[in-house]
Amino acid sequence: MSQSSRSVSLTSLFRQSRVVWAIRAAVALVVGILVLVWPQSTVAVLATLLGIYFAVLGGVRIVQGIADTELNGGGKAANIILGALVLVLGVVVIRNPFETAVFLVILVGISWVFEGVATLLETARGRGSVLSTVIGLLIAAAGVLVIFLAEGVAVAYAVFFGITLIVVGILDFVLLFTVGRAIAKADRG
């Protein structure tokens, strides 16, 4: 394939996909702005969607445990029990979406504390350096902060997500117009 035929092919592809590209950029901008305006609600909505997913997944597991003729007694029981647990988890998340998100943030904080302590223990056994000690302390301290500021951290995650979407939307529009101008310029000359 020659350079000019590749160029024509890419130009054609761009022209076909630019509307989708523009829609994607606009949606990213709008959703990003909405997330920044209502970060706590965004966290609750995302948690609720996760809760709905868990509830459906749990229901499917229960039905599979009851209806699947190829499963033996243990397989049936495991599917029904697991399905019931996931279904209950889904209902809890749906009923308490923001609190569930905060709980997940607390779990992240706890995991960071454990990771920091583990890094410090490895360093104490002579398997690390001063840098390892500093990293372990920073990770553990970050975990403690996340635990004590969990609600704010959950909202901060949403704000970060919103800012990211806005940046992606802006960059998509910039790229869309830049490529469009380059193609128009190539067509003219």
Is the per-residue pLDDT at 178 higher than 90? no
Q: Average pLDDT, whole number, for the chain?
A: 88
% pLDDT > 70, the chain = 92
Integer CA distances (angstroms), 114 to 31, 126, 136, 149, in order: 35, 19, 9, 17
Mean pLDDT over residues 2-21, rounded?
A: 68
In sequence order, what E strands does 100-165 have?
A: none
pLDDT tens digits for 125-145?
A: 877 788 888 999 999 999 999
Q: Cβ neighbours of residue 153 under 8 Å, at least 6 residues apart? A: 105, 109, 146
> Is pLDDT larger for residue 76 or for residue 4?
76
Mean pLDDT over residues 111-117, rounded?
A: 93
Residue 185, pLDDT score: 80
